[in-house]
Structure 1
Amino acid sequence: MNEFANLLSAFVKEKGVKIQPFARYCGYDRANMYKILKGQRNLPGREIVEKAVKYMHLLPSEEEKLWEAYEISAQGSDNYYRRKEVQKFFTEPILSSNVNITALTEGEPAKFGILNNESIPLRGGYEIDAALFRLIGEESRNKDGHLRLMIQPESNSLSSILSVHGNYACNTRIDHIVCLSSNPENVYRKKNYNLDCLRCVLPLYNYNYDYNTWYYYSKIPVQEKKFGLFPYMVLSSKYACVLTADMQKGYITAKPEILRICEEIFEECLEESKPMIRRLTDLDEQFEVTGKILKNKDQVQSFQMTPCLTPVLTEQIYEKYLKKELPGREKLIQTLYTYGEEIKRSDIQYVTSLEGIKRFLKTGIISEWPPELYDPLEMDDRIQLIKDLIFSDNGINIRILKKTVGNFDAEIYLCVSREYGILKFIVPEKQMQLHLVLEETGLLFSFFDFCENLSTEQIFSSSEEIESFLENWQLSEKVLF
């Protein structure tokens, strides 16, 4: 039996539902209803589920469980939970970290401040956190600091310690090796493990670190805790700290010969690892990576809640709104125009939201552009661009969500193929945009699959429905086309 049949049968039994009238209400005969309850028929249509919910007078929580069971049965368990995790990725804050190291200061415990050519055993989370706090704090203030981490990113204490020191760091280089699941399409404990790793490391790109992530594959859970002696290590220029997998035992040492051995081991592992994320620092790099994505023969997915307007921007728009005092303005206009023409020739499926369209119509802000490059668009141009994007016969493949996914003030933008991907984040605290390149194939698959398989319940099914909504909005805002 599938999950839906199991739960539906349980509700029927729990609520004492008579099969004959229940089947008749749902449009089935008795025999076919029994087959549905035993999972011997294909899933019924969504309208049948809605009828079942009404007939059995399900509570909101029960209805939610029934719909979840329906989706799990329709999509498959792994697909359902993976897509759910991707939606959670877009919905929950990413570039913030829950810092909880209030009990530690740089002087506690004192023995770590006087560590010289000796090794100190560590027992329990407090001693380990204190040692890491001291080690990372000293190295992050070193102008030529270099931290080497071989530890899983879901370690909350390590992430919090790095966050504490991150705003004061001197662009310290961090090389962080993590283990990803060798079966990335599957879920572990109803979570996509690789996506969870990505969610854990992303906040560290928001601090004053030269942060670099690397990965290798293994089975998840990573190691049996009792048999992997010291699988984790954190290295600075002065100290080596090695830890058990449960981060409850270990030792820290300043002995140069041990530090050298640990560095050699780390470098050997680094050679066998691959880049997980790469940060883009300028427009040229962004254009280069986007070009690689567009050259892919498969379809490209663009996911952002404010509409992507690049395929309908004209040279006249660039000329009119790019700030006059920009250095190299004419060259930038030509580059943007050429880039836009390449976008138009590409097979891209755009996903945006009605609230995002409304936001653009109200503000005139083009989300693809850094705000320092241009002035907000005038109303007439805003309206024309939305018309060109949605209603013109220009071959643009766009799907519009009824409900926004995520937060406009900290929006996440995605452009992904099966080989490359770019994630762009708005960082409101720093008033900046952060561009990251994804290269790990399992993560690319998760994002691409999510965009490709958005539920028909989430999107508007016809341009007429969209047009009707916009007409009503125009009337309410007293804006006329």
Structure 2
Amino acid sequence: MSIFSDKLKEYMKQKNEKVYSLSQMCDISRANMYKIVQGTRHPANVEMVYRIADALGLSPYEKRGLIESYQITMIGKDIYEERSYIVHLISSLKKHRNLPVEWGQSKENPETQGKKKFLYGKKNVNGEIRKIIKREAQKESGKICVIGQPDYAFIQQMLISYCENKNVEIQHIICMESRENGERNTYNLSNFTHISPFLISECKYKAYYYYDNVQSHFYNLNLLPCVIVAGDEVIQGTSDYEYAIYDCSRERVNVFHKMFQDFLKRTSKIFRISQNLEEAGRWISMHKIDAVLSCDYAGYLFMEKWKGKTAKNLKIFISEEETKDASFNKWKIEEEKRDSWRDSLLEKKGKSCKIHSELFPVPENFLMLTETGGNILLIFEKENQNWGVLEIYETSIKKSMYQFLENLDKSLLAEHL
């Protein structure tokens, strides 16, 4: 028995389908189909799973469930979850639409204005957080300091909506799961996925990390572990943001500012991000590239343009085999070199792997590089023809992403051309 065979039996029962008729529709022998249904044998590849799903007449949602169960069966639940976070992260690095926000004067209760307040209920806490962020964003040079996990979407939305393209610096301290914990790295990857909207925004956002046991630190008996400190006000809340204390006393706000800066000295940067392709080129020229992932070969040729050194068995992963002129233009590859480089790609195609775009939609104008020392670089197009050039520093995330790209051809997401 397996997760896949259990799911397949469930759908066969729902659709009132028998082994023999299913084997005929899928062009699989009756004996092999019986073994697949019983879980003593697995489909040879994901294409066979698609054939079975189509033969059963599954809906898109049901088909995803069957394919997911196949992948978990073949590579294990832990690896599948870790890989899913990385796929989601890469898929989200594309242009975004900002939320509309209100800039009018907020109505304050004269009895509570300028005083310490105790807030109950998520609606009241969210309302105060929004007002703090809005007031700081309206300053000529604002600064917002946050201590807390990035899984609360409301704060992220308010920060991006009010602070994008504003002269507001955002400093965010995040607790990462201690590396002594023997579990796989899904928690730290999920944190990085949660902050991905900041990466494609135009916010002045910097994230820092420290290691601890997250469960005991944030979710047990620490009553008010989450803090937002703006210029002259602070709000301190529970991890679920159901309860909070707001304060604007200069003395107490100064104490929180000092505490934050002292804490910041004991943290490290999660990533560094720059804004132009020349930065990416300099990184490429200084490293020995091990693997390349891009939508098409234009990303690989951009790497070649900077004469980056490559490992002996360089791996190339693409979702589109055809490289269009528009892609060359985006990656700023000189027109006079394109034909010769297109010819040189013929020998590379034998060493390339094709991404299953339905399972892993690689964005256009995206490039991911690993180098032999385990370093990672992500390049992606942002708004207004700007670029994000992202170098990851945090060790556990960097290790997971390196292993993801190194093993992409063994993970059911890609096949050799």
Structure 1-normalised TM-score? 0.71
Equivalent pair of 2:290/2:370 in contact (CA under 8 Å) = yes
* Alpha carbons of structure 1 residues 392 and 58: separation in structure 2 relative to 1, 3 Å: closer
Give 1:113-192 correspondences, 5 Å limit.
Answer: 114-115=113-114, 118-167=115-164, 169-170=166-167, 172-182=168-178, 192=186
- Report Cα offsets for 1:347-372 as digits up to 9, x if no partner: 532222335x3323x664251x4xxx
Cα distance, 1:176 vs structure 2: 0.4
Residue of structure 2 in register with 1:323 after alignment = none
Residue of structure 2 in register with 1:475 after alignment = none
- Report Cα offsets for 1:368-400 as digits up to 9, x if no partner: x4xxxx7x515xx4232122123269xx94334
Give 1:22-421 correspondences, 5 Å limit.
Answer: 26-27=28-29, 29=31, 37=37, 39=39, 41-46=40-45, 53=52, 57-61=56-60, 62-92=62-92, 94=94, 96=96, 99=99, 105-110=104-109, 114-115=113-114, 118-167=115-164, 169-170=166-167, 172-182=168-178, 192-206=186-200, 209-219=203-213, 221=215, 225=219, 227-280=221-274, 286-287=280-281, 289-290=283-284, 293-294=287-288, 300-306=290-296, 307=298, 308-310=300-302, 312-313=304-305, 339-340=306-307, 342-344=308-310, 348-354=314-320, 357-360=322-325, 364-365=328-329, 367=331, 369=332, 377-378=335-336, 381-391=337-347, 397-401=351-355, 403=357, 405-408=361-364, 411-417=365-371, 419-421=374-376
Helix, strand or coil at the partner of 1:229: coil
Between 1:75-84 and 1:227-236, the stretch displaced more is 75-84
Cα distance, 1:73 vs structure 2: 0.4
What is the distance in 1 between the residues matched to 2:95 and 2:166?
A: 17
CA RMSD of aligned residues (A): 3.9
What is the distance in 2 between the residues matched to 1:366 and 1:44?
A: 40
Residue of structure 2 in register with 1:461 after alignment = 416
From 437, 443, 449, the counterpart of 2:391: 437
Helix, strand or coil at the partner of 1:211: strand
Aligned length: 407
What is the distance in 2 between the residues matched to 1:382 and 1:55?
A: 41
One-letter amino acid of the counterpart of residue 174, structure 2: V
1:7 aligns to 2:7 (yes or no) = yes
Which is greater in Rg? 1
Residue of structure 2 in register with 1:425 after alignment = 380
What is the distance in 2 between the residues matched to 1:284 and 1:364?
A: 16
Structure 2-normalised TM-score? 0.80
Structure 2: state its 5+ residue gaps.
Answer: none
Percent sequence identity is 18
* Alpha carbons of structure 1 residues 95 and 196: separation in structure 2 relative to 1, 3 Å: farther
What is the distance in 2 between the residues matched to 1:133 and 1:90?
A: 29
* Alpha carbons of structure 1 residues 348 and 440: separation in structure 2 relative to 1, 3 Å: farther
What is the distance in 2 between the residues matched to 1:285 and 1:59?
A: 47
What is the distance in 1 between the residues matched to 2:230 and 2:49?
A: 59
* Alpha carbons of structure 1 residues 239 and 94: separation in structure 2 relative to 1, 3 Å: farther
What is the distance in 2 between the residues matched to 1:133 and 1:452?
A: 42
**Structure with greater proportional strand content:** 2
* Alpha carbons of structure 1 residues 22 and 401: separation in structure 2 relative to 1, 3 Å: closer
- Report Cα offsets for 1:176-212 as digits up to 9, x if no partner: 0112334699679xxx443332233233345554321
Residue of structure 2 in register with 1:336 after alignment = none
